[in-house]
Amino acid sequence: MISFLRCCFWLPLLATRTVQSPPDVVAWFGGDVTLSCFFLSQPGMNLQDVTVTWQKERAGTEALVVHNHNYRRDQLVRQDEVYRNRTWLDPEGLAWGNASLTLRGIRTQDEGVYLCHVTSELGWTSERRELRVEAPYSEPHLTLDLSFRLGHTLLTFSSGGGYPRASVEWRDGTGTNLTELSTTTESVDARGLYTLCSELALPMGQSTNLTVLLVTAPGRETHMLHITVAAGPGQRRSHVWLLVACLGAVTLSVIVAVWILHSPGHGT
């Protein structure tokens, strides 16, 4: 009878916990983040038998070793080079069933799925964490070029140093999408951060309300600009100069004609 009760007491503790899929973990570029992982524990548990392995999944190949801990010590011989001196696991937390991992100096390459595997005298646990990295884009910069092309104004929108990859959308005052009329280029620096430059040419002489959006994901707008392009003084000046040039050409033609008519080779 005593053996039966003991068996019934330990059976739930030895059950294997399935992989969990909680909400994504968001980390800021250059900062630190803690990936949580908890397992079954009890007071007086033998920590010598606790083994913790953190891995990062890679499509079509073996997972990267991010951190390993067993026999009460960090065992980092097989740790991948990109994580050297960047991981920390609290050994005292293992007594309370906490195998969470802190990752320092977040990079864009750190984005992905991480797996935490824990084995102890009480069983086996595996948990899954998906890490997303974000870097804020710089405040958008907008320039207007009135001399871009006769009868057109060129608007240039730029923003950089951000992650993840983004897109630029142009809309007029009625909400009509003008993005297909624009040209957008992007560049990526050595850290994996993006810079975007988008250009849109508009006819001069008409007032236009525009909205420029920087979109990092469907439904997620990180920056927004509202612009009113009007037939302002700069455009009027360009029209005046065009009129002056035409009058100058006509005047020059009249002078040349008069000079020819009064030259010695012609009669009065």
Q: Quick one: three-class SS letters along the chain?
A: CHHHHHHHHHCCCCCCECCCCCCCEEEECCCCEEECCECCCCCCCCHHHCEEEEEECCCCCCCEEEEEEECCEECCCCCCHHHCCCEEECHHHHHHCECCEEECCCCHHHCEEEEEEEEECCEEEEEEEEEEEEECCCCCEEEEEEEEECCEEEEEEEEEEEECCCEEEEEECCCCECHHHCEEEEEECCCCCEEEEEEEEEECCCCEEEEEEEEEECCEEEEEEEEEECCCHHHHHHHHHHHHHHHHHHHHHHHHHHHHHCCCCCCC
pLDDT digit of tens for each residue in the chain (268 aa)?
A: 433 333 333 334 344 555 455 568 999 999 999 999 999 999 989 999 999 999 999 999 999 999 999 999 999 999 999 999 999 999 999 999 999 999 999 999 999 999 999 999 999 999 999 999 999 999 999 998 877 777 888 999 999 999 999 999 999 988 899 999 999 999 999 999 999 999 999 887 767 889 999 998 766 766 678 888 765 544 444 343 333 333 333 343 434 343 444 555 544 3
pLDDT of amino acid 145? 87
- Domains assigned to the chain: 17-134 (2.60.40.10), 141-231 (2.60.40.10)
